[in-house]
């Protein structure tokens, strides 16, 4: 969960290189020129990638539990600390897990947006 790919995709930067020769990127972006649209598509793809990756973490981490319990009854019957493991996982651990995933996601997408903003607003 910690090793995430660098946010801004290479494609965006190539487009920007062309932009730098002519008009300001922020103008392209606001005016919905083909260049601006390409910038936006890159951003949307990056952000969707983040969302899907984090969703996959939850899908495996939590969504895999019913299957795990069904396939490995000994896991379902384990009693660490004298409490049944499924109760500990679903009754307690699930909530800090969800919050942690959410907090990490917010940090990453905010960084992506900041880098994108810096890129587009870069002075000529």
Partner 1 sequence: MSHNPYALPAILAVTAVTVVIGAYGLRLVRTTSDLLVASRSVSPRWNAAAIGGEYLSAASFLGVAGLILRNGVDMLWYPVGFAAGYLALLLFVAAPLRRSGAFTLPDFCELRLGSTPLRKLSAAFVIFIGWLYLVPQFQGAGLTLQTVTGGPYLVGSLLVAAVVTGNVALGGMRAITFVQAFQYWLKLTALAVPVLFLVLHWQAQGRPAVTPPSGNTFAAATTVHFDSSAVLTVTTPTTVTVASEPVRLGTGDHTFPAGTDVTFPAGAMVPSVAEAATGDGWLLPGTGSGGLFAAYSLIFATFLGTMGLPHVLVRFYTNPDGAAARRTTLVVLGLVGMFYLFPTLYGVLGRVYAPSLLLTGETDAVVLVLPGLALGGGIAGELLGALVAAGAFAAFLSSSSGLLTSVAGVLSSDLLGRGSARSHASSVRGFRIAALVAGVVPFVLAMRVATLDVSLVVGLAFAVAASSFCPLLVLGIWWRGLTDFGAAAGILVGGGGAVAAVLLTFLGQTGTGLLATLLHYPGAWTVPLAFAVMVGVSLATRRRVPSTVAVTMLRLHAPDALRPRTP
Residues 69-81: b if buried by 16+ CB within 10 A, e if exposed: beeeeeebeeeee
| Cα angle 99-102-107, degrees, rounded to a multiple of 5 | 125
Of 9, 23, 27, 58, the residue at the interface with partner 1 (CB under 8 A) is 58
Between 9 and 113, whose beta carbon lies closer to partner 1? Answer: 113
Burial class from Cβ neighbours inside 10 Å (0-12, 13-18, 19+) for residue 5 reads exposed
Give the Cα separation of 7 and 112 in Å (integer): 6
For position 14 contacting partner 1 by CB under 8 A, the verdict is no
Between 14 and 48, whose beta carbon lies closer to partner 1? Answer: 48
Instruction: Report the interface residues with partner 1, using CB under 8 A.
Output: 26, 29-30, 32, 36-37, 40, 43-44, 47-48, 50-51, 54-55, 58, 62-63, 65-67, 69-70, 73, 76-77, 84, 86-87, 90-92, 94-96, 98-99, 101-103, 105-106, 109-110, 113-114, 116-117, 120-121
């Amino acid at each position: 969960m910690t090793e995430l790919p660098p946010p801004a995709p290479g494609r965006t930067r190539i487009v920007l290189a062309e932009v730098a020769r002519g008009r300001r990127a922020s103008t392209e972006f606001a005016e919905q020129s083909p260049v601006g649209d390409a910038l936006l598509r890159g951003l949307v793809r990056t952000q969707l990638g983040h969302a899907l990756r984090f969703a996959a973490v939850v899908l495996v981490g939590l969504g895999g539990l019913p299957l795990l319990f069904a396939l490995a009854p000994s896991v379902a019957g384990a009693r660490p600390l004298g409490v049944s493991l499924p109760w500990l996982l679903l009754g307690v651990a699930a909530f800090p897990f969800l919050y942690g995933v959410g907090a990490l996601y917010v940090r990453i997408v905010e960084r992506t947006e900041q880098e994108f903003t810096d890129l587009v607003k870069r002075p000529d």
